[in-house]
Each structure stands twice: as C-alpha cells, then as structure tokens.
Amino acid sequence: MKRFYPNVTATLLLLLVTTFMFAQEREVLPKGLTDTEKGILSGFQFSNTRMTPPPSGPVRAAAEWEEIEYLVITWESNFQNILRQIVAVGVNECKVIITTQNQASVASYLTAGGIDLTNVIFMDEDWDSIWIRDYAGNTIYSDDVGELALTDWIYNRPRPNDNVMPSAHASLLGIPIYITDTAPADLVNTGGNYMSDGLGNAFASKLILNENASGNPYGVTVKTEADIDDIMMDYMGIQNYIKMETLPYDAIHHIDMHMKLLDEETIMVSQYPEGVADGPQIQENIDYVLSNFVSPFGTPYEIEWIPAPPSPGGQYPDNGGSYRTYSNAVFINKSIIVPTYRPEVDTPALAQWQALMPGYNIVGIDVDNPGENLIALFGAIHCITHSIGVDEPLWIVHQPVDEANQNTSVTIDAMAKHISGVNNVKVMWRAEGTSSFNETPMTFVSDDNWTANLTVTTNNIEYYILAEANSGKTLARPIVAPEGYWTINVGNLSVTDWAETHISAPFPNPTTGDVFFNLNNIQGPIQVTIHNLLGQQLFETQLEVGNGILHLDLNSNWKGTLFVTFEGDFGRVNKKIIKL
C-alpha cells in the first residue's frame, strides 16, 4: 500500500494562520458549537488540498473491541482527575499518547497520583478541545490484517488544531494516513457518530447525510447517500453503512451517546421510561435496524437495553437534564471504562455491564460532579478517548453457541487471520464447575475458517477460542480469556421441542423479499416448504444439513401471510412470514 505522510511545514503554517479566532486564554469548548463558532462556521476553510487518495487496495476498519496498541487523549486541565483515571487504566493495557504542551506538569500530576509513566508518550502539539473521539483518526488495515493506517475525515467544528491531530499521530508513529478533505471525497464526519463491527458494517445517525448535503455550512461538495457510502467503502472498507434518524433531544446527534456495539451481533442501547425524551425515536431506530438488517452472521441483532439515568432531581434531556447514558464507554483491550453519575444508579448499570462482558475489568469514572461536570458539555468517556490498533493484528471472529441439547455434538466455527498465517486454532473448554480447561484442536476448512465438534453431556460448557499465528503471536477470543468465556447452556428438551426452540423466527419480518432462518445445529436432513393462507404450496427444497443460516428469496408475486414448514427427524415446525 502506498504511504502518504502530512506536510509538517504546511501543518505548522496552518496552525499559526488559523488560530486568530481563539482567545489567548484557552476556552473550555463543549462537544457542540459555541456561539462564536456558529458565527464563523460559514466562513471557515474546512476543505484543504493535502492530497491523499484512498488506499490502493481493500481495507478493513477495526472494531472497537479489537486489540489496540495506543490509547490517545488530549490533556485538558479542567478535567485532569477524569483523565488521570483513564490513564491509570490505559497504562496497564497499552501505551497512552497524551497531547499536551505542558508535559512536565502533566507528568508530575500523574506521578503524584501513583501512575507509572513507562507506557505514557507525550505529544507536544497544540489543540482546541478534549473531544478527541470526534477528530482523531480511525484505524484501518490493508487486506484485513495487513498494514496499519489511519483514516481522517473533515472534523465538523472550526477547530483547526483538533483537525490536524490525526496527521500528528500518524507522524509520531510513522504510519500512513488517508485524509478525506479533497473533492469529490471531501467528507465531513465525526468519530462519535461512527461504530464499526470490524466486518464491513458500520452504524451512524443521519447526521452524516445532513452534513454533506446541499446547503451544508462546511463548503464541501454535495453528496448523495451513495456518494458517502462509496467514500466510506474506499477509505474504510465499510460495505454496509446503516444510518438511523437523529434524536430530538441529542443536540450532537452522535450515536455513541445512546448505543454501543459489544460484539458483532450485540448492541447495547440506552433506554428511557416509556414516552420520555429520545426513548420513542430510539425504539423506532432499533425497530428499523431489526426489520431491515441482520448481523454479519446472518442472525437478528441482539439488543441489550440499559436504563439511562435522570438527574438527581429526576430530569431527563426533554426537561433540562443532561444526556446521561452508560453506553458512552470505551474498550481498552481487557478493560472497559464506563461513565458514572451517582452510586444509586451506577451500581445496577455496572453490574449489567459486568454480566454482559464477563472477565473484563469494568471501571466506572464519574463525569457528573461539580468539580468536573463533563456530561454537562454533551459528552462522556467515549467522547474524550480514541485508540490506534496494533501492528499485525491476530483477528478472530466467532459466533458464540448459546445453547445445546444434552448428549449432542455441537459445531464450533471460527475465522482466524494473521499476516504471517495461522498455525493452529483451539477450542478451550470445560464443564461448568470445573477449574481447568481442556483443548480440542480445530480443523482448517478454507479461507481462514476453522471448525471443531464438541460433545456435550449434561453440564453447561464454558469455552473460548485460542489462536496462534505462524509468527508465534497468540490471542484469545474473548480477549479476556480464560477469565472471561462463553457459556453453552445445556438443556433437556425433546427432539421436537428442541427444533421448535432452535429454528429461529424469520428475519426480517415483515419482509419485501429475502428472509433468513438460523437453524442452530438442527441435525439431519430437513424438508422446507412454503404455503399461502389457502394451503397452496409455493415452494419446496431439501436441505442435507440443518446447521447454519437458511436464506429464502421470496417470489415478488407472493403477498400476505406465508407459512414456512420445516420437517425432519425432529418432526414438524411451522413459522409465519408477512410478505409485503
């Protein structure tokens, strides 16, 4: 892949020329626009000519839960206690890059707080705000696990020092950077409104459409949704860009304030009391996602709702309360930092996080106190942190098996990929209640895919995937294993009841065309038929193996209620589809 590096001289000149709008005393800037910034927005030069065409080959955007080499923050002294706590977690997981022009005082403050500076890197660059999630670069890899690079969009704030921070990071680390600041790829976007699953799928609010549309205040070329999708594909490898309606009471319209991808098929979503604040629109957005999209495994997304707390006086964002949520959290390898507010609401939220992410070090940091009220500025922990991935990642993808019947064989599939190749992959497993893990070698299938069969008896099974690259690097999924692992819940259902439970509901449903079923290790051949309300058979097929995802492409002439019947050694199971 061709390397592009920023012109340091030009960058310094830009910083000198464009700082005229800021007072000598640094203003604490909110996540949104100040009144002064609103006044200069239309006259500010957002597009530049630092020509960086997209990568020459396919790239992959990293997921937030993948292994990282660097945590990056900007040191704002007004929030130094919050930042110190973040650094305390970060230095035990990776290297921490701190942007500051006051290295000595920051180092002294951290050392006085008991933090070892061995893993701290100070970067002496000017800056405008603490909200580094929105303006820092985003990690990409060539050919899935190849060369590490950053992609930098146009920051949607007239904050010139912030906007060049990705180039400073790239220069510091000697890695390529690709910048979308030149027409026709002059894309305005922000990191808080972007969430990737590492498999080519990403989420955003429709802010991304609005800020690049006709009449945008940034002076960038007008782009259709297809244009934006093409830029995200070229620069980020995003193949499926899911965009949801903006929320009425979220002034920033960044999705990280109300949702969080926990893995490839699980989304944590903030929940309000019925009819309160953004609750109705969030529910509509999630319904839209569930009705129109499936996870990269072809299954419906699993939604984990987590209550959004009100102010101590009971106010939510629709009646004067700040936008308090627990979803604005950051993964730092084996740790997750979660924003907190006060013990009575934090305790159950942190317990829910721990239950959803077993084995992770869940750390709460108060962002809602009189001394450092970060949440009042419309942001929290995810907003003031960003990350840069590891060089030569060992990438593991696996869809956990949640349930199995007693005395059956369960298929475990995984994808493992490394630039040096993968030497071996194992399933590490144990019966619930036992202390040591057994290992079952996985067999290479093709295209980086591996498989193994586990025989389950009557006990639940705890397991994780362990891969070793030809280079000698090893990594587990979950990354926290063996402290954290997946659990196969073993049941004792009849064959028919098992099939009824484990042939999934159709998704999406209603549907305009395609429909999917997850067959979840149903054994033996299966006959599949489709009938209409009159009992007329419209379709029939025979499946030799029941495991995996069944895709049915419904005829455009079929309308109304349809019945899909599955027949095999297990008996008969019926599912209903609404065809629009």
120-132 pLDDT, tens per residue?
Answer: 999 999 999 999 9
Whether the per-residue pLDDT at 18 is higher than 50: the answer is: no
46-100 pLDDT, tens per residue?
Answer: 876 665 789 999 999 999 999 999 999 999 999 999 999 999 999 999 999 999 9
Residue 2 has a pLDDT of 35
- Contact indicator for 263, 336 with CB cutoff of 8 Å: no
Strands in 330-332's sheet, in edge-to-edge order, are: 330-332, 335-340, 361-366
Residue 27 has a pLDDT of 81
Residue 4 has a pLDDT of 41
**Among candidates 217, 204, 254, 212, which has minimal Cα distance to 32?**
254
User: Across 285-392, where does the E strand assignment appear?
Assistant: 302-307, 330-332, 335-340, 361-366, 386-389
CA distance 496 to 421: 43
Give the Å distances, CA to CA, from 328 to 133, 382, 389, 421, 464. Answer: 11, 5, 20, 35, 27
400-454 pLDDT, tens per residue?
Answer: 998 888 888 888 999 999 999 999 999 999 999 999 999 999 999 888 999 999 9
- Contact indicator for 397, 478 with CB cutoff of 8 Å: no
Residue 517 has a pLDDT of 85
**Among candidates 518, 519, 516, 521, which has minimal Cα distance to 488?**
521
| More confidently predicted of 579 and 198 | 198
CA distance 466 to 476: 4
Q: How many CB atoms lie within 10 A of CB 537?
A: 10
Percent of the chain surpassing pLDDT 90: 75
311-323 pLDDT, tens per residue?
Answer: 999 999 999 999 9
Band of pLDDT at residue 23, cut at 50, 70 and 90: very low
453-465 pLDDT, tens per residue?
Answer: 999 998 999 999 9
Region 545-557: what's the mean pLDDT? 83
Whether the per-residue pLDDT at 574 is higher than 90: the answer is: no
117-161 pLDDT, tens per residue?
Answer: 999 999 999 999 999 999 999 999 999 999 999 999 999 999 999
Whether the per-residue pLDDT at 523 is higher than 80: the answer is: no
The distance from CA 466 to its chain's CA centroid, rounded to whole angstroms, is 22
Whether the per-residue pLDDT at 114 is higher than 50: the answer is: yes
Q: How many CB atoms lie within 10 A of CB 301?
A: 18
- What is the distance in angstroms between the CA of the first residue and the CA of the last residue of the chain? 46
Q: Which residues of 12-39 are buried (b: 16+ CB within 10 A; e: fewer)?
A: eebeeebeeebeeeeeebbbbbeeebee
Instruction: Indicate the helix (H) or strand (E) that contains 415.
Output: strand 408-417
> φ and ψ at 387, to 5 degrees?
-145, 160
Look at the alpha carbons of 291, 296, 300, 306 in this order and tell me if their dihedral is positive or negative. Answer: negative
Residue 549 has a pLDDT of 79
Band of pLDDT at residue 480, cut at 50, 70 and 90: very high
Give the Å distances, CA to CA, from 86 to 93, 108, 115, 190, 381. Answer: 11, 16, 11, 22, 9
Whether the per-residue pLDDT at 521 is higher than 80: the answer is: no
Residue 479 has a pLDDT of 98
**Whether the model pTM is above 0.75:** yes
Residue 11 has a pLDDT of 38
CA distance 157 to 365: 27
399: left (phi over 0), alpha (psi -120 to 50) or beta: beta
CA distance 94 to 333: 8
**Among candidates 389, 471, 481, which has minimal Cα distance to 426?**
481
- Contact indicator for 86, 385 with CB cutoff of 8 Å: yes
Band of pLDDT at residue 207, cut at 50, 70 and 90: very high
472: left (phi over 0), alpha (psi -120 to 50) or beta: left
Q: What is the mean pLDDT of the chain?
A: 91
Whether the per-residue pLDDT at 395 is higher than 80: the answer is: yes
Region 231-245: what's the mean pLDDT? 97
